[in-house]
Amino acid sequence: MPDWEPAPPSARLNEFLSAWANIQASGCHPIIGPESMPCLREIAADVAAMERRLAEYARKERADAE
């Protein structure tokens, strides 16, 4: 599993979504429309699932190597 720097992609996506929600809550109109929010949340969830699968694969690989 790669050593994510500064954070795994799912964490970075979630930071973006939080920032987007704060901008929207402040009354500003971000470039990305509200219709994009569910799609971005699905992408963040998919990326997190892929990260978990990669970590599981790496654990199995290490166990097989021992």
Sequential DSSP letters for 23-35 = HHHTT---SS-TT
The helix/strand/coil state of 66 is coil
Check the CA dihedral 39-46-2-8 and report its sign: positive
Average pLDDT over residues 45-54: 86
For residue 6, the SS3 value is coil
pLDDT tens profile 12-41: 777 877 877 787 778 776 666 656 667 777
Q: 37 near 20, Cβ under 8 Å? A: yes
Q: What is the pLDDT of residue 4?
A: 55
Q: Give the span between the Cα atoms of 60 and 40, in whole angstroms.
A: 30
